[in-house]
């Protein structure tokens, strides 16, 4: 199982670097006139995917759900470094949280562009960087929830001793990990809730929920506005709005399927003291695969990108044709 997971991680890393580089090239060459400042939002998300790949490869995370505890194990080259290995797996968590927050920022920009265009003046030029402050803040907060709320303890190492050895041939006393142990049971069978771990896990759930609510609010209102303003927009503008909305919606659905639903189950299953063995590491594979698949959505849902790619295969060069429209995209 562990070898198969690492194969997924290595292959996804190589493919993701290649496919995100192509997308960045298309964004740079094909969106100057038709997407306006929104192209910077797309570029930042693609650059994030490249960086996430390196963090994932360095961490090579493995996942376990054992009784009332979930664990993300650092199985990368620094797994036996007590401090660096632990901080690295916390950074992996922070980069994981960055995904939903960057998607929220994109939805918020689309919401402003269609529903509150008068407010876009506050995000022109260098001011556009202000939209990245909330994602950065959420990511840093995620890091500290992991660092301070899900710390390694002797009791956690003892619980992990058998499953880590049986499933991954690792010694729980040496390897580094981030884990949430919800409660402890004393010798009299009395349950004592582990407040620190519960707060840490609850904090991560709140951060994910904030991102989900932002996406839902902005997405629903943007969709309504697209339908209401259909008669006042040109056919070209309506088509581009539709393409961007479909792209962004699919780019949001994908990480929910591959990242946030598996992780949500990872948080929930220990409440039922459910041990699912190596199946839990599906989330480690799916989170590695995600950055390799995500760019394909934009490349094939946005007609300018799709035509350029098809022309590249057909003629051996990228077409220079680019649609033009308003700069408020």
Indicate whether 102 belongs to any domain.
yes
pLDDT above 50 (res 324)? no
Indicate whether 297 belongs to any domain.
yes
- Please report the pLDDT score of residue 315 as a whole number: 53
Indicate whether 326 belongs to any domain.
no
Indicate whether 324 belongs to any domain.
no
Vertex 289, ends 22 and 147: CA angle to 5°? 110
Q: Quote the percentage of the chain above a pLDDT of 70.
A: 86
Indicate whether 104 belongs to any domain.
yes
- Please report the pLDDT score of residue 325 as a whole number: 40
Categorize the per-residue pLDDT at 225 as very low, low, confident or very high, splitting at 50, 70 and 90: confident
Highest mean pLDDT: which of 29-33, 47-51, 145-149, 270-274?
145-149
> Using one digit for the tens of pLDDT, what is the confidence trace for 9-47?
888 888 888 888 888 888 887 776 667 777 888 888 888
pLDDT above 70 (res 233)? no
Indicate whether 197 belongs to any domain.
yes
- Please report the pLDDT score of residue 231 as a whole number: 59
Vertex 128, ends 127 and 131: CA angle to 5°? 110
Categorize the per-residue pLDDT at 124 as very low, low, confident or very high, splitting at 50, 70 and 90: confident
Q: What is the mean pLDDT of the chain?
A: 80
Indicate whether 320 belongs to any domain.
no
Q: How far apart, in whole angstroms, are the C-alpha atoms of residue 211 and residue 45?
A: 15
Indicate whether 140 belongs to any domain.
yes
DSSP helix/strand/coil, 60: coil
> Using one digit for the tens of pLDDT, what is the confidence trace for 103-116?
888 888 878 887 88
What's this model's pTM, rounded to 2 decimal places? Answer: 0.82
* Number of domains the chain contains: 1
Q: Is there a contact between 291 and 20 (Cβ–Cβ < 8 Å)? A: yes
Where residue 258 falls (left for φ over 0; alpha for ψ -120 to 50; beta otherwise) is alpha
pLDDT above 50 (res 238)? yes
Range of the domain at 215: 2-315
Report the CATH number that the domain containing residue 212 is assigned in CATH.
Answer: 1.20.1070.10
């Amino acid at each position: 199982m562990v070898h198969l997971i690492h194969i997924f991680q290595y292959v996804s890393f190589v493919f993701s670097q290649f496919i995100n580089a192509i997308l960045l090239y298309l964004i740079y060459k094909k969106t100057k006139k038709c997407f306006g400042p929104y192209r910077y939002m797309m570029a930042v998300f693609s650059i994030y995917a490249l960086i996430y790949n390196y963090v994932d490869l360095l961490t090579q995370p493995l996942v376990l759900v054992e009784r009332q505890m979930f664990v993300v194990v650092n199985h990368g080259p620094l797994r036996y470094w007590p401090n660096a290995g632990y901080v690295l797996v916390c950074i992996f968590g922070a980069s994981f949280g960055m995904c939903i927050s960057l998607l929220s920022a994109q939805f918020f920009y689309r919401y402003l562009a269609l529903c509150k265009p008068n407010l876009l003046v506050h995000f022109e030029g260098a001011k556009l960087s202000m939209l990245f402050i909330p994602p950065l803040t959420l990511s840093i907060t995620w890091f500290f929830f992991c660092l301070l709320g899900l710390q390694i303890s002797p009791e956690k190492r003892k619980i992990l001793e058998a499953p880590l050895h049986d499933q991954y041939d690792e010694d729980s006393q040496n390897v580094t990990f981030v884990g949430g142990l919800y409660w402890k049971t004393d010798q009299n069978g009395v349950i004592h809730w582990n407040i620190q771990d519960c707060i840490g896990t609850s904090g991560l759930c709140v951060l994910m929920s904030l991102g989900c609510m932002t996406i839902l609010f902005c997405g629903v209102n943007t969709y309504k506005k697209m339908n209401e303003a259909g008669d006042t927009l040109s056919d070209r503008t309506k088509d581009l709005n539709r393409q961007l909305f479909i792209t962004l919606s699919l780019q949001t659905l994908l990480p929910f399927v591959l990242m946030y639903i598996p992780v949500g189950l990872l948080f929930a299953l220990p409440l039922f003291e459910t041990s699912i063995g190596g199946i839990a590491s599906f989330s480690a594979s799916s989170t590695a695969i995600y950055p390799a698949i995500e760019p394909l959505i934009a490349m094939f849902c946005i007609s300018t990108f799709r035509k350029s790619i098809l022309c590249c295969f057909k003629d051996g060069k990228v077409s220079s044709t680019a649609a033009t429209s308003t700069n408020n995209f």
